[in-house]
Structure 1
Amino acid sequence: MADERADVVIAGAGPNGLLLACELALAGVRPVVLDVLPGPSPEPKANGLVGQIIRALDMRGLYRTFTGDEDPPRPAYQGRFAAMTLNFLGVPDNPMYMLPIQQPRLVRLLEKRARDLGVDLRWGHGLSDIRPSTESVGLSVSSPERDYSIDAGFLVGADGGRSLVRKAAGIDFPGSTAPTVSRLAHVHVPGELRRTDGGVDIPGHGTLPFGHTRLDRGGLIFAEFEPGRSLLGTIEFSPPVDEVPMTLTELRESAHRILGVEFPFEEPKDEGPHALRRINGQNTRIAERYRDGRVLLLGDAAHVHSPMGGPGLNLGLQDTINLGWKLAAEINGTAPAGLLDTYQSERYPVGLRVMMHSLAQTALMVSGPEVTALRTLLGELFTSPDVQQRMAGLLAGADVRYDVGDDHRLSGRLVPDLTLDDGRRVAELLHEGRPVLLDLDGGVAAAVRGWEDRVDTVGATIGDGLAVAMLIRPDGYVAWAADTFDPAAEAALRAALERWFGPSRAA
């Protein structure tokens, strides 16, 4: 007999694991979250969020919590692709958003939300054994106080690229490894060298802009996300080096090889913690499946790729928003057959797409005149409005349309950021993580009889005539929409309600 029973256990209390716990808690499921670390890691990793996840967080009221900004998210009008500048100023309905926030702070904010929602969060508790079966997942847990066992209805592995959960479930992790050596550290750069635009002036070389820069002998990364805490990184296409502790001297020598001159930095002046790491080889891998029975994978446990452009948290947290309501419905007994399998069918193609463009960016950083010529050609293409729109959708994760079984132009897409005539924003209707039928016609609400316990109906008006009604899933994606509400549209609505939220109670 197991010591404990839990509907779901989440292994890993990083951003993805904590957000999933919050999503489940909103739906009335109380997950257990385990993490072998004694507390939130102070290690600097990701430095911001990009793309559609910022709108998704706004739909939970978290954008205001994270930023203190009373206004809705605003699109970003410039981006980077393989250290080349992209201009999104003229992109209609620009889906590209950016939110600078360092991962340690993001984790602390999500930890507070999880605790406020009653999540059982256990720092210093790590999995030591996993025994999946058709009925449950047996878990052995070790902690400083005791060793114990949990019988879990579901196990979600949000435990990183070396995921114990993925390995124990026997899920392959195919992919490739690029022959790179990357180094990153916090450094102190003298004030007289820093520029007001975020770049730095290097004596004997010239200006090194904020972000990634490709040079003939490798790539350089310079960014200052916090005053006085500069991040310097290098990327060299070379064989792996010995696995000895990284030093600032090693970083200095790497920067000199790439620049051809000395990069005049010093040891960081603040107390830290400080980044100081080396990565031999850049892995690009995706799990062959995101679900194996009662075991599911999330975040880096499901996919790893180059961090260039910062797509990792956007991808992982959007996976989380997609999975949370589906897993909660399965646990609560309201899920229609096959709902949980749509986590794989919807999100796996998005993971492949991020792998594609991250590999492309890595290739475009390689030295050589051929790559330089290709970058020149792409730079010309990037001035085309059609290409700019395509690239904004690609980098934001907005160019993949889910197959929701409805062919309306809005269906399968993230709901537009609409403001209703009474001043409410559609994002505000989704704060509780419940599906919403937005009735803009006044005659649609009666069609949801029998689903009132699972779907909130909101009557409103909007001036632009985008549709007469929309059925919006908890993750913000439109499951059904119609321009006129005739008998065929009503039948399609009822089919969508049943497909995503189970049969009518009235039936």
Structure 2
Amino acid sequence: MNAQVTDVIVVGAGGAGLTLATELALAGVPTVVLDRLPGRNLQSRAGAIQPRTAEMLALRGLLDDALGRSIDYRLAGGHFAGLPVPLDYAAWDTRYPHPVLLPQDQLEAVLEDRLTELGGRVLREHLLTGLHQDAEGVTVTVSAPDGERSVRGRHLVACDGAHSTVRKTIGAAFPGRAATVRMATADLVLTGAVDDSTAGHISSRIQTSPEGHFAMIIPLANGLQKLIFSGPRTALAERDAPVTTEEVREVLHATHGGTLDVSEIRYASRFSDASRQLEQYRHGRVLFAGDSAHIHSPAGGQGLNLGVQDAFNLGWKLAAVLRGDIGEDLLDTYQTERHPVAARVLALTRAQGVVMGPQRDDGVGELRDVLTDLLRLPEANRYMAGVMAGLDLRMPSPDAADHPLLGLRMPDLDLVAADGGRFRFSDLTRTGGGVLLDLTGAPLAAAAPWADRVARVRAGAESGAVGAEAVLVRPDGYVCWAGGAGLTETLTRWFGPADRPGEAG
């Protein structure tokens, strides 16, 4: 059986897998995307993108399409554990200070459309049945509609979810904490007095009962509502058991009295607060991103965002290695940068699980009150908003102490070109390369040998400031140099030597 040959095999066409595939396609890296399902999962599932994810989509010109598919509902800021204090994302100087209610299937549609524009596609109903890797690459066997086939790639990235077949096949340990709470989510049609208001804080949509029921209703499109719920019956259900009308009706009766009923369940699934993370995101030529690398409770709405941001971090690095721009050591930074981020999210979701737990005489109610008061303090609110939205991330850098902007996300400045043309910084990042932005007319001739990997742009800041004569920004939007000495060394560190080392093997 002859193997189809490519550079990268991506297993899984969810948010992380499609983001990675579009980044690789943008960089001209041949990629095959395999997915076991016959089509895109149409359940809403993850329901919002956080401000940092919105910024990253804007870097590639994808945000307008995403906003066009979003739900017409303006959340009054973010939240921590559903406490009734909006998190003020505007304190982080972002153009997108509100979570965007975008069902996961719609984000995946945006990404798959872009992948198609770039000449890529998803191979549906391709179930991975075997995997073998050696020093030069990875070969997988798949069961496809037309029979068994094999695909050979120089690297494989597993984006195949919480129950990753790739992870199990290679025997990668997945340590963590088993589930303590089981919940469910359903896209359904409700009858009765449904709150269809298009503004408010998420805490206003949470209802509980003394018997331990929990329900949160969020409007979707076309008359559907998204119900996230739990209760005594749900807590005992097996993971693969179908969500029944009786189960939903019991929760609605307990939390909303007789005001709501269910007339149709369109899609439904179960989940838990299990919390696990791979110790290593790279196993030879196999890498992991998204839920295949980490799972956690959906409290706080960070899961989809975490996976998409994994892919933005990994995509440009893997492309640079495969193009021969730089050595494979660059891939080690994926582990050092993204593993701590997921570890923090796991800790945050565990903490929120405690705070959101059922009312008991164990101090949890008092803890909620204390945290609520803390979040009303501007500094505490700003800190938690940055954590929850991913706006506070600082990439480790050997030069991080030299300039306050190093390692942080680049602000999306309004810029003015020498000819008077106006644009945003994000307009410079559409092609997926690095950007060297000259803000003061400083001579940057030393960067000329990297012109095919880094765009050099001279402009003035119409609003805002970065406090540097020039900045070098990585393809994922993080500043890696901010004026002064060391430009050549930084270009070499992140984009490879001026004269490429040759084709990577």
> d(CA) in 1 for partners of 2:194 and 2:479?
49
Q: Judge conservation of contact 2:248–2:262 (CA < 8 Å) in 1.
A: no
Whole-angstrom distance in 2 between the partners of 1:9 and 1:81? 37
Residue among 329, 332, 354 paired with 1:363: 354
How far apart, CA to CA, are the structure 1 residues paired with 2:459 and 2:392? Answer: 28
Q: Is the 8 A contact 1:218 1:366 kept in 2?
A: no
DSSP-derived class of the 1:221 partner: strand
Once the 2 structures are TM-superposed, how far is the Cα of residue 123 of structure 1 from its aligned partner?
1.2
The structure-2 alpha-carbon separation of the partners of 1:134 and 1:377, relative to structure 1 and needing over 3 Å to count, comes to same
Letter in 2 for 1:46: A
Corresponding position of 2:269: 277
Q: Could you say which residue in structure 2 is the equivalent of 1:421?
A: 416
Match of 2:470 in 1: 469
The gaps in structure 2 that reach 5 residues or longer are none
Residue 440 of structure 2 aligns to which amino acid in structure 1?
D
| 1:117–1:291 CA distance, 2 compared to 1 (3 A) | same
CA contact (8 A) 2:321 2:328 kept: no
Residue 469 of structure 1 and its aligned partner are, at CA, apart by 0.4
Equivalents in 2 of 1:356, 1:212: separation in Å?
Answer: 22
Is the contact made by 2:57 and 2:63 (CA closer than 8 Å) also made in structure 1? yes
Contact 1:336/1:499 (8 A) holds in 2: no
More displaced 10-residue stretch of structure 1: 229-238 or 8-17: 229-238
TM-score w.r.t. length of structure 1:
0.89
Corresponding position of 2:448:
449
Matched, 1:113 2:94: no
1:283 offset after TM fit, Å?
A: 1.1
1:61 maps to which residue? 61
When residues 444 and 214 of structure 1 are mapped into structure 2, their CA distance, relative to the original with a 3 A threshold, is farther
- Matched residue, 2:163: 162
Report deviation, 1:148. 1.5
Report what 2:492 is aligned to: 498
Q: Is the 8 A contact 2:49 2:99 kept in 1?
A: yes
The residue type equivalent to 1:240 in the other structure is L
* Number of the residue aligned with 2:432: 433
Task: Give the match's secondary structure for 2:322.
Answer: helix
Quote the offset at 1:400 in angstroms: 2.5
Report the counterpart of residue 205 of structure 1 in structure 2: none
Q: 1:77: Cα distance to partner?
A: 5.2
Q: Which amino acid aligns with 1:241?
A: A
The DSSP-based 3-state class of the residue aligned with 2:480 is strand
**Matched letter for residue 481 of structure 2:** W
The aligned residue for residue 77 of structure 2 is 78
Instruction: Report Cα offsets for 1:4-46 as digits up to 9, x if no partner.
Output: 2111110111121111111001111020111111221223311
Contact 2:173 2:279 (C-alpha < 8 Å) held by counterparts: yes
**3-state SS of the aligned residue for 1:358?**
helix
Match for residue 245 of structure 2 among 248, 256, 260: 248
Q: CA deviation at 1:416?
A: 0.8
Q: 1:155 to 1:354 in 2, by over 3 A?
A: same
1:307 aligned onto 2:298? yes
Question: 195, 206, 213: which is aligned to 1:212?
Answer: 206
Question: Does the 8 A contact of 1:437 with 1:471 survive in 2?
Answer: yes
Residues 141 and 149 of structure 1 are in contact (CA less than 8 Å); yes or no, is this contact kept in structure 2? Answer: yes
Shift of 1:110: 1.5
Please give the secondary structure, in 2, of the residue aligned with 1:449: helix
Structure 1 residue 140 corresponds to structure 2 residue 134: no
Contact 1:246–1:277 (CA<8 Å) still a contact in 2? yes
Question: CA offset at residue 456 of structure 1?
Answer: 1.0
* Alpha-carbon distance change, 40 to 440 in structure 1, aligned in 2, over 3 angstroms: same
Identify if the C-alpha distance between structure 1 residues 16 and 248 changes in structure 2 by more than 3 Å, giving closer, same or farther: same
Is the Cα contact below 8 Å between 1:82 and 1:212 reproduced in 2? no
Q: How far apart are residue 67 of structure 1 and its match?
A: 2.2
SS at match of 2:236: coil
* Whole-Å separation in 1 of the counterparts to 2:42 and 2:389: 27
For residue 169 of structure 1, report the CA deviation from its aligned partner.
2.3
In 2: Cα distance, 1:227 partner to 1:85 partner: 29
Q: Give CA-to-partner distance per residue, 1:136-186, whole Å, 9 cap, x none.
A: 111112111121112210011111111111122221111112421313323
Residue aligned with 2:217, SS: strand
How far the C-alpha of 1:129 sits from its partner, in A, is 0.3
Using the alignment, how far apart are the partners of 2:68 and 2:90 within structure 1?
27
Question: Is contact 1:52-1:97 (8 Å) kept?
Answer: no
Aligned-partner SS, 1:340: helix
Cα distance in 2, alignment partners of residues 38 and 476 from structure 1: 34
The structure-2 alpha-carbon separation of the partners of 1:353 and 1:214, relative to structure 1 and needing over 3 Å to count, comes to farther
The 1:469–1:324 alpha-carbon spacing in structure 2 relative to 1, beyond 3 Å, is same
On the 8 A contact 2:78/2:98 being kept in 1, the answer is no
- Name the stretch that deviates more: 34-43 or 24-33: 34-43
1:92 Cα deviation from its structure 2 partner: 2.9
Please report how far the alpha carbon of residue 403 of structure 1 lies from its aligned counterpart in structure 2 after TM superposition.
Answer: 1.0
CA 1:128 to 1:253, structure 2 compared with 1: closer, same or farther past 3 Å? same
> 1:157 & 1:241 partners in 2: Cα distance?
29
Does the aligned pair in 2 maintain the 1:198–1:223 contact within 8 Å?
A: no
Distance change >3 Å, CA 196–CA 229, structure 1 → 2: same
Taking a change above 3 Å as real, the CA distance of residues 381 and 215 of structure 1, as seen in their structure-2 partners, is farther
Residues 1:323 and 2:314 are matched in the alignment: yes
Larger mean Cα displacement after TM superposition, 282-291 or 43-52: 43-52
1:198–1:218 distance in 2 versus 1, CA, 3 Å: farther
Quick check: 324-333 or 241-250, which moved more? 241-250
Distance 1:214 1:358, change over 3 A: farther
**Aligned residue in 2 for 1:351:** 342
**Equivalent position of 2:8 in the other structure:** 8
1:185 and 2:180 aligned: no
Tell me what 2:132 maps to: 131
Q: Corresponding residue for 1:386?
A: 379
Which amino acid is 2:343 matched to?
Answer: L
CA deviation string 1:97-126 (max 9, x = no partner): 422211222222211111110114211222
